[in-house]
Every structure is written in C-alpha cells, then in structure tokens.
Chain A
Amino acid sequence: MKIADKFNELKKKKEGALIAYICAGDPTPEATKEYVTALVRGGADIIELGLPFSDPTADGPTIQVGIERALNGGMTPDIYFRIVGSLKVHIPLVVMTYYNLIFKRGLEKFVKDCVASGISGIIVPDLAAEESGELAGFCKQYDVDLIFLVAPTTTESRMKRILAEGTGFIYLVARMGVTGVRKDVAASTRELVERVKTKTPKAVGFGISNGKQASEIIRTGADGVIVGSAFVDIIASGRDVPGRLEALARELKDGIQSANK
C-alpha cells in the first residue's frame, strides 16, 4: 500500500497515523513476523522496519542494542527482504537503514528489492538531502517514497530543499538528539510543525512513549506519530512481547484518536 493512500484514508476519518518502528531480526528473523502482526492488530497504520547496520550513529542506546540483537540473530539484507516479502499485512511498510547498506547493495538493486518485497518508502538517517540525489532518482523511477527528516535546527534554506525532495511523509525530529524514550514532549514540537510548510503529511518522532504524548503531538497539528524506542524496550524485556506490543500500539492509537483532528 502507498503511504499517500494511507494518509488519505486517515484524513477522511479525521485521524492521525501511528507509525511503529521495530528493528527487523530483533531478536530473530522469525520473531519479527509475529511482532509486526501484533503491532498491526494494535492499530499501527504504517510499519517502519529497521534493517540493522553495524554502526548506527543516528540511533539512541535502546535501538542500538536492538540492532545488535538483530545482527547477532543473523539478520542480513537478503533475509530482510525475504521476511518482508512474506509479511501478510495490508498497510504501508517503510525501511529504515543506513546508507552504507544501500550503497553496498547497489542503489538501484536496493530500490527494486523494496518494490519486489512490498516496501513503499525508505528512510536513511545518515543521508542528508545534499547527498541524496542519486538515490532519489531511483526512488522516483520505481515510485518508492524517500522520506527525509527535519530538525528544530534545520535552517530555512535547507528546509525548502528537504520539503522539495521529500515524499511520503516528512519525519519531524521533535527534540534535539537521537532516538530514545524521553520523559516529556518538547514544546518546540508545535513550533516545528508550524515551520514545516508542506502538503506532504508530517509525522513527529523521537521521544514518544505513551498515549498521552501521542495525543499531545497530534494536537500540535501533526499528521502522525512515530514510536520506536518504546516498542524496542518491550522486545528487550522478552516478557509477553507480542501482547505488550499490541497493547502499547492500542494505547498510542487511542491517544491519537482522542485528539481527533
């Protein structure tokens, strides 16, 4: 399913999107299928599935450890695309990975593998708009969304460039820093949502872990909420993982719906 179709569908229902991240292969490739199903059952609208890289400099400690578990569990790009291809979900899937894995596979092959396995968007946290030209070309050619991040520090001139290049949704970094569960939701979120002037949906991530925060984020005018570390924490605990993933997804989605746009 295309990301734009999902946002349009939600827009009709006046509803925000829940975008859930987990790292594929954490702790085993088989577990990922089960966890994705649980997240979808709980109400996730889009699944962001991490393809683990050995040196994840843009991720916080929680996700970094999840990535290590996945690599130790034997996850590779080949297995990744096989697993994703076998998922029976009817919502958009997005791959999040670092540029070296894409570069090494070959840009065009990577994008084609995305299409073949049913992935409709790519997020590359270490690929700034300045360096993205070649990958963006293949994404356009094969109709895959290339999703960019904007931060509170993003300057106006760079903002223009990112908004011109980004498709699918714009990933707003709510707080400075990298992914990880934070205690409250930054006041700078509203300001950032207002600064990002675009028709492309805006999803806010970094530091959201409960329904109340998710609700606050949607009230700032965002079209979606991205949650990662809180799910990865559940996986790390190893206790009743599918049940708790589903429950957290439901809590977040309830929060989002309570803030009906």
Chain B
Amino acid sequence: MKQELKQTKFGKYGGQFVPEVLMPAIEELTEQYEKYKDDPVFNKELDYYLRDFAGRPSPLYFAKHLSREYGVRIYLKREDLIHGGAHKLNNTLGQALLTRYMGKKRIIAETGAGQHGTACAMAGAAFGIKTEVYMGARDTVRQRMNVYRMELMGAKVIPVKSGSQTLKDAINEAMRDWAANVETTHYMIGSVVGPHPYPMMVRDFQSVIGKEVRTQIMEKEGRFPDSIVACTGGGSNAMGIFYPFIEDDVDLFAVEAGGSGMKVTDKEALHSATLCTGEEGILHGMHTKVLQNKYGQILESSSIAAGLDYAGVGPELAYLADIGRIKPRNSMDSEALDAFHDLCRLEGIIPALESSHALAYVKKAASSGELGDIVVINISGRGDKDLETVMGMKK
C-alpha cells in the first residue's frame, strides 16, 4: 500500500495534469524531493525547526470529560498547540527548507481563510525567504486579521480580484505566477492536493503527526487505538495522522463537511463532502474525486469551516476510500458547532471548526460501536480564528 515516489499515482488517482510550462518545475521538484527526503542533514535540520520553532511533539491528551460524555476513551492529538495554532506549519517548514535546498529565492502560496498563508509567512520568515501569498480579494476583507498577521511576519499578500475573488481564483493566480517564475520560485501548496509530487510530499511532511501518535498511544494505553478520526477538506491533517497507521489494524475515519445538507444544484453544493458524494474528475493537476455537475463543471462547495470548503480532495484519500482502507463520513455545520461547544465547555479547549467536524462524528457514532473503545481525534487547529463565526451563529 505504501507508494514509491517514482510512481505518480495512487491506483488510478493522482498524476500530473498541469500546463506544459509547469512540467519542468514539477519534474525538478520531484527530483529534488526524492533527493532530500531521506537525507540525514535535511531531516536533522527539519527536526530542529519542528521541535524548537514549531513546538513539536504536540501532546496526545486524554479527554476525560469528553470520554465520559461520548462513551468512548478519547485522546486528542493537540495540533492546535503547534506554533500558529494548526498543523499547517509542519508542511510549510518542510517545503520552505526544501526551497532553500533547491536554491530558490522566493515562495508563493495561495490561501483561502489565511491559515496556510500564515504558516507560509512563518516558515518564510524562519528561513529568510521572500514570501508572497495570493488571496481572493473577498477573503482579504473577511479575514483581515490573518492578512495583518502575514504582513507582520514580512509576507506580501496579493489580493486577487478576478472571478469569485476567493480561494479558487487565488490558486489560479498562484499557478500563473509560478508558470512565469518557475526558475526562481517555489509554489507552496498547503494540502495533499495538486499534481504529483505534492500529495505525497505534503503527506510525508504531515506524517510527523501520526508518527508521534504511534509512540504516545503505546505509552498511554500499551496498544494502538481502535480508530482515528480526522476532518477532511483537501486532507492534509487526515493523511498526516492516518499514513503511519495505514498498515495497522486501526480504522481510519475521514470526516468531511456536510455543510447545511447533502443537496446539490447545477452550480453549487451545500456541502464539501467530496469523498462521500464526489465523482471522478480532474482538478488542480490531479485525478481525484470532485464535486461537479453532469458536464464536469466544478461546483461551488460550502461549509462553515473555511478549511474544509473545497470541491476536490487529495488523490490518495480518494484511492484509500475506493479500496475501503479509510471510511469517509460527514458532519453537518450544526453538528460541528454543537461539538465545538462540547469541547470548549468540557475540556477547556477551543477547537477549530474544521476539527469540530471530527469531534461531531465521534459524538454521533460512538454509541454504535463503529469506533471501538479507544479513539484518537486529530484536533488539527485551534478555534480562536472562528470565534466571530461562532458568535454570528448564536445570534
């Protein structure tokens, strides 16, 4: 089941569906990643930054009160405690270091709500690499605190005024920039999506999460958990915690955003449940499952959690779902909000709305026995960024 790097696909999924101008950059990145991924010097340096800059390892915390409430033994993988408040930095530190090893002088990235952009700005500052972040103009208004955070750390935020002025336009613009500047610039993708080698590379950088869980759960329970539950948009926190367990007898639940319901029109979906309801297609350089209409036009997806609001999903997750190794599920906006409040009140931890989808699924499914006795939930980020949304919902 483990994939060799030279292979660009996961079963039929993955691949490299990109404009010709980008192919050389992608070939170079593949080559360079292959060269450094097992390089002791590279990894030693990455470990140093993960430990002393990002604050790893993150704790695996036994959630006593939540366990009692939901009726299973729940451990929380505390990625919310990582510098920046989310797992995103694991990946950007890895890619920024690789940028330096490749001798490139500039990082570009796209960001939706600003979480990945912030993690890029942090990594860019840590390594002294010029960082420019494309962000939909509408998002820059909605998320102006994140824009300010990025700018404080020296990144330049470029508002994208084309199209819907949101994430997909930011992606388009970042790809255009990369096409024009491939020789000097590394394009930092924030999830396990895009053309090969990104899905594999981002998964590998995020796998530190699952590797830590392996050790931590053995210390606490003397055995592996029965199941691991992670929220899934593009899927980087999910692949990060799942991958080290892929060959073990542990059930893996990928919880997508059910939004406000499973309805779909010709142009939009009220949810972002790509693994649950998507169909095969090609988007953003990869063959994967996509939310699309009968002609193959991509639907606008929807979720209360910006980080899950994506019409595609990582190709490896699509593959793992097809072969039955992961179980795709979903939680609705309202269920996620409910679980968000549970964790705040019972444990004194404010989770990201993204992570709240994983919590909500555990709440729903615990009594069915499907999750077994010991469950690890990936708390992929903290919820401070979501307070305005939550306050808005209360009104």
Contact = CB atoms under 8 A, between A and B. Distances in A.
A128 B17 contact: yes
Contacts of B171: 57
Interface residues of A, number: 41
Contacts of A178: 19, 21, 176, 179-180
Contacts of A76: 295
A126 B21 contact: no
Interface in A19-61: 53-58, 60-61
A128 B23 contact: yes
Contact of B290 (A57, A100, A173, A176): A100
A125 B282 CA distance: 13
B172 A55 contact: yes
B137 to A, nearest CB: 13
B123 to A, nearest CB: 24
A154 B24 contact: yes
Contact of A154 (B16, B20, B172, B292): B20
A153 interface: yes
B319 to A, nearest CB: 16
Interface stretch (A63-71, A217-225, A241-249): A63-71
A197 B175 CA distance: 29
B284 A131 contact: no
Interface stretch (A83-91, A113-121, A144-152, A226-234): A144-152
A126 B285 contact: yes
A61 B284 CA distance: 17
Interface in B1-54: 8, 15-21, 23-25, 27
A158 interface: yes
B25 A153 contact: yes
B95 to A, nearest CB: 20
Contacts, number: 115
A191 B94 CA distance: 37
Contacts of A127: 17
A119 B304 CA distance: 44
A70 to B, nearest CB: 11
Contacts of A98: 282
Nearest to A77: B295
A103 B20 contact: no
A104 interface: yes
A77 B293 CA distance: 12
B208 interface: no
A153 B295 CA distance: 33
Interface string A87-106: 00000000000111101110
B55 interface: no
A104 B296 contact: yes
B215 interface: no
B297 interface: yes
B281 A158 contact: no
Nearest to A68: B163
Contact of A104 (B23, B163, B179, B295): B295
B292 A57 contact: no
Contact of A100 (B15, B162, B283): B283
Given A56-B172, A103-B296, A128-B20, A61 B179 contact: no
A150 B22 CA distance: 11
Nearest to A157: B27
A56 B169 CA distance: 10
Nearest to B290: A100
B176 A60 contact: yes
Contacts of B298: 54-55, 100
A144 B175 CA distance: 30
B19 A125 contact: yes
A219 to B, nearest CB: 24
Contacts of B176: 57, 60, 177-178
Interface string A141-172: 00000001111011100100010000000000
A48 B168 CA distance: 26
Contact of B180 (A54, A130, A150, A177): A177
B172 to A, nearest CB: 5
B252 interface: no
Nearest to A104: B296
Nearest to B311: A55
A99 B20 CA distance: 14
Which of A65, A150, A151 is the most central at the interface, judged by chain B CB atoms within 10 Å of its CB? A151
Contacts of B162: 61, 64-65
Contacts of A150: 20
Nearest to A151: B21
Given A125-B19, A128-B16, 15 more contacts: A57-B172, A57-B176, A99-B17, A100-B283, A100-B290, A101-B296, A103-B281, A104-B295, A104-B296, A149-B21, A158-B23, A158-B27, A176-B180, A178-B19, A178-B21
In the A-B complex, the 10 residue pairs with the smallest Cβ-Cβ separation, listed nearest first, are A104-B296, A177-B180, A58-B19, A149-B20, A151-B21, A153-B24, A54-B297, A100-B282, A101-B296, A100-B296
24 contacts: A57-B284, A61-B162, A65-B162, A71-B297, A100-B283, A101-B296, A126-B285, A127-B17, A128-B16, A128-B18, A128-B20, A131-B15, A131-B16, A151-B20, A153-B21, A153-B25, A153-B182, A158-B23, A158-B24, A158-B27, A173-B20, A176-B182, A177-B179, A178-B180
